[in-house]
Amino acid sequence: MTTSSPLYESLERAAEQGGDLYPQVYARFFAACPSAEPLMWHMDPLMRARMMDEVINLLLLEDTEGEITLVEFEAHSHQGSGVSAEMFKVLFEAIRDTLRVCLGADWTGGYEAAWQARIDQLACAFNGQYPEPKVA
């Protein structure tokens, strides 16, 4: 993803404010999806941070073939950990919502639209990797 993309820009502006956003993202994720929390009890902060780095990388990825490969890999490896198709979308929304709160008045309609489009697209891709695809 180019450094001028709305997703990248919103992440960069939030990062400029300092502080670690990942704990907020996980707190929002677990509040919205309580069944996800026990699946991650064994993951320490470093492991959770490595996972979130990968989630952000995927969200920003512009390489379509690389994206398909990564979605296939993560969907299949996570199915083995009990992760449902719906949880991916909830996690992406938790990232978007955390950024929206963090940026406050600096959050724009362009960021909102770009995040919604990307979340819908990736959620659909993950749904397609599950045996019984569900509506995103």
Residues near ligand HEM, by CB under 6 A: 36, 39-40, 43, 47, 50-51, 54-55, 58, 74, 78, 81, 83, 87-88, 91
Closest CB to ligand HEM among 40 and 124?
40
Residue 72 CA to residue 99 CA, distance in Å, equals 27
CB of 13 to ligand HEM, least distance (A): 22
3-state secondary structure 68-132: HHHHHHHHHHHHCCCCCHHHHHHHHHHHHHHHHHHHHHHCCHHHHHHHHHHHHHHHHHHHCCCCC
Residue 89 CA to residue 119 CA, distance in Å, equals 7
CB of 109 to ligand HEM, least distance (A): 25
Residue 127, CB-side half-sphere exposure with 13 Å CA sphere: 13
Query: Under a CB-based contact definition with an 8 Å cutoff, are residues 91 and 29 in contact?
Result: yes
Closest CB to ligand HEM among 14 and 58?
58
Closest CB to ligand HEM among 17 and 57?
57
The amino acid present at 133, given as its one-letter code, is P
Closest CB to ligand HEM among 54 and 106?
54
CB of 102 to ligand HEM, least distance (A): 20
CB of 104 to ligand HEM, least distance (A): 26
Closest CB to ligand HEM among 14 and 85?
85
CB of 21 to ligand HEM, least distance (A): 16
